[in-house]
Amino acid sequence: MSNNTLRLEGIYPPIPTPFDAKGHVATKALTGNLRIWNRYELRGYVVLGSNGELVLLNDQERLRVLEVARAAIPADKLMIAGTGCQSTLQTIELTKQAAEIGADAALVVSPFYYKGQMTSGVLIEHFHRVADASPIPVIIYNMPACTGIDLDATTVTAIAEHENILAIKDSGGSLAKMAEIHRLAPLSFQLLAGSASFLLPALLMGAVGGVLALANVAPHQCLAIRQHFIDGELDEARHLQEKVLPVNAAVTRGWGVPALKAAMEMLGMYGGLPRAPLLPLSEDKKEDLRCILQEAELSALG
């Protein structure tokens, strides 16, 4: 039976999948990185999200990454597995496999290839079928920058009526929409900010936490923004959020996964190369990135 009372409060890095020089999944590096992140008060991890290059992995690799990650993630931290595929059936299969491996919840991106046919009704039906079949709670993943589809509040609310739909990770960035979802969805439905660039205002509007690429390289700062907010220290929270904005921009919409991996390398973790078609960050941009990290006073993690 699904644990639909799972509480998600907290910060989650959507961890990258490390590759070795030959391009294979570097399982030891994955374990090593998790050991470092485990030192922080992170609530858990998203494995196989957009930053985990889910769409660039084959079926075997996906399961292997989940297994290795689960072994390295303590029982008191959540493992949220990215399991959204274009096909409803494949999404269900991957979700079941993830559950078997020990994932606590599944993060399911909206299908998007047949954009013209992805009406509200089609999307609701897809998520409900997945939720029906899933042994673990399902988190809706709204990621318009990658999918070209931006779920509206009405659709999200309708999806949320299913008891096995636990939350939404919204990377769209519309606070008005987050407020509308918070107003309309069941009380138990949880909101997670999908980017550190709007973590603080999202918390104010009712989000319980965030899945933040930035948390891979600045876990301390992401946790501190949330703690300041909880403690009512709004000025400190805002100051910190503003300070990390340039790093966040660099490792997300700016230069993406290649920059995230480069930044991890600079901070003493295993970064490695992204998988093609993604190309490694150029030397010029690496220099820029180094400056951005320094200005934000990020310190080594590893």
Active site residues: 169
- Of the CA atoms within 13 Å of residue 67, those in its CB half-sphere come to 10
Q: How far is the CB of 86 from a second copy (least distance, A)?
A: 4
> Residue 137 or 258: which CB sits closer to a second copy?
258
N-terminal to C-terminal alpha carbon distance within the chain: 38
Give the binding site for a second copy (CB under 8 A).
23, 50, 55-59, 86-90, 111, 113-118, 121-123, 125-126, 129, 145-148, 173-176, 179-180, 182-183, 195, 197-198, 200-202, 204-206, 232, 234, 238, 241-243, 245, 249, 253-258, 275-279
> Residue 135 or 254: which CB sits closer to a second copy?
254
> Residue 88 or 188: which CB sits closer to a second copy?
88
Question: What distance in Å separates the CA atoms of residue 199 and residue 99, rounded to the nearest whole number?
Answer: 28
Q: What is the helix (H) or strand (E) element at residue 45, kind and residue range?
A: strand 44-47
Q: How far is the CB of 276 from a second copy (least distance, A)?
A: 4
Please, are residues 216 and 16 in contact by the beta-carbon 8 Å criterion? yes
Question: What distance in Å separates the CA atoms of residue 109 and residue 91, rounded to the nearest whole number?
Answer: 10
DSSP 15: E
- Of the CA atoms within 13 Å of residue 113, those in its CB half-sphere come to 6
> Residue 102 or 173: which CB sits closer to a second copy?
173
Q: How far is the CB of 35 from a second copy (least distance, A)?
A: 28
Question: What distance in Å separates the CA atoms of residue 16 and residue 84, rounded to the nearest whole number?
Answer: 17
Q: How far is the CB of 19 from a second copy (least distance, A)?
A: 11
> Residue 196 or 301: which CB sits closer to a second copy?
196
Question: What distance in Å separates the CA atoms of residue 217 and residue 51, rounded to the nearest whole number?
Answer: 13
What's CA 248's distance to the chain center, in Å? 13
Closest CA to 286 of 254, 263, 257, 256: 263
Question: What distance in Å separates the CA atoms of residue 86 and residue 147, rounded to the nearest whole number?
Answer: 11
Q: How far is the CB of 75 from a second copy (least distance, A)?
A: 32
